[in-house]
Amino acid sequence: MNIRIGNGYDVHRLAEGLPLWLGGVLIPHNLGSVAHSDGDVLIHAICDALLGAAGLRDIGVYFPDTDPTFKGVDSKILLHEVMKLLREKGYTVGNIDTVICLQRPKIMGFIPQMQETLANVMEIAIENISIKATTSEKLGFVGREEGISAYAVVLLSH
């Protein structure tokens, strides 16, 4: 069996009055992601980690932010497409570990719902999806609430 590791990172600016989607869940907040898609930074980081592990480039190669087809697209659809591609190539997801960097609000209460949502889209067990959150102690762009970022690491087997 061939085990492969991948990592993904994504950032979006935050602005007043936009929806804040994270892990496929709508988080009640006064700020949301500025993006071409729905701006789900966690799903984008996961997609990049999956594609990276398989040596298949990154999310922008498949879903360009210049293509009107993807304007406002639900990132769960993009993740579903990435999973389809990986399965076609014979990959199975082992586990995923992620970090969301967000100063406000506290999102720990939404993490079980994100895990369930992602497990359904990816067709893997909830236990294989870890989602963590951190502020940046009011430092940098996250700390100033100018943006949100997420990191993801995945293991694939082939």
Ligand X SMILES: C[C@@]1(CO)OP(=O)(O)OP(=O)(O)OC[C@H]1O
Ligand Y SMILES: Nc1ccn([C@@H]2O[C@H](COP(=O)(O)O)[C@@H](O)[C@H]2O)c(=O)n1
Task: Report the C-alpha gap between 39 and 29 in whole angstroms.
Answer: 14
The distance of closest approach from Cβ of residue 82 to ligand X in the complex, given in angstroms and rounded to an integer, is 11
Judged by beta carbon distances under 5 to 8 A according to partner kind, the member of ligand X, ligand Y, none in contact with residue 144 is none
- Residue 96 tokens read as 């995923």
Least spacing, CB of residue 100 vs ligand X, in Å: 14
Q: Give the footprint of ligand X on residues 58-117 (CB under 6 A).
A: 59-60, 63, 65, 70
Q: By CB under 6 A, how many residues form the interface with ligand X?
A: 11
98 binds, among ligand Y, ligand X, none (CB under 5 to 8 A by kind): none
DSSP 126: G
DSSP class of residue 145 equals T
CB atoms within 10 A of CB 115: 21
